[in-house]
Amino acid sequence: MSSVRRRSARPPAGGGVPSRSRRATRTQSKVAAPSKGFVFKVALKGSPGTWRRIAVRGDQTLHRVHAGIFAAFDREEEHLYSFYFPKAGARGHARLPTAVEYTHPFAAESDPFGETHPDASKARLDRLGLRVGQKFEYLFDFGDSWWHEITVEAVAALRSAGAPVSLLERRGASPAQYPDADSAD
């Protein structure tokens, strides 16, 4: 038998404002509700067999996905980045110019070409309509152009909050972020 007492549906005596403990209980239950979780396979383009599998809570943003990929591929220095979500049915090189681009918060503020792109730090995963099998692109470092293909492998309800981003599996060695710098010695 449960030790939780049920209250009547009537408003509390002395007015219609619920007691502090009752409001706190409602707030706590909203916070504790499980959310979606996503599993992504992040493959480094041009480097067959080099990929990472990461899990990310749905209440996280694309900026947090970037941070997870950055760590998973042993990157050392931050750079601007963008995520590209091609339109359904778009193929080949034609898919990127028409793709929806979510970009680094600094790039979202001032695009030198006068274009505006949504801020990746405000784009929550559970609001993007991601589905299993969907593929999208991630570009890290606009100068050196590290392209990645991301595949949504799973979407599921989470049993507990857990870590915002988790590295599940890694294949292939991470290439040096600046390969030419290593050979300059």
pLDDT at 27: 44
The answer to whether residue 122 scores a pLDDT higher than 90 is: yes
179 pLDDT tier (thresholds 50, 70, 90): confident
The 3-class secondary structure across the chain, one letter per residue, is CCCCCCCCCCCCCCCCCCCHHHHHHHHHHHHHCCCEEEEEEEEECCCCCCEEEEEEECCCEHHHHHHHHHHHCCCCCCCCEEEEECCCCCCHHHHCCCCEEEECHHHHHCCCCCCCCCEHHHCEHHHCCCCCCCEEEEEECCCCCEEEEEEEEEEEECCCCCCCEEEEEEECCCCCCCHHHHHCC
pTM of the shown model: 0.76
- Parallel, antiparallel or unpaired: strands 135-140 and 100-103: unpaired
pLDDT at 49: 94
Contact 73, 44 (CB under 8 A): yes
Residue 138 pairs with which residues in a beta bridge? 83, 148
Of these ranges, 3-12, 103-112, 119-128, the one predicted with the greatest mean pLDDT is 119-128
pLDDT at 90: 78
CA distance 166 to 185: 36
**What's the mean pLDDT when you consider all of the chain?**
80
CB-CB neighbours of 167 under 10 Å: 14
The two tokens of residue 46 are 């041009």
CATH class of 35-173: alpha beta
If 0-12 CB within 10 Å is exposed, 13-18 middle and 19+ buried, where does residue 94 land?
Answer: exposed
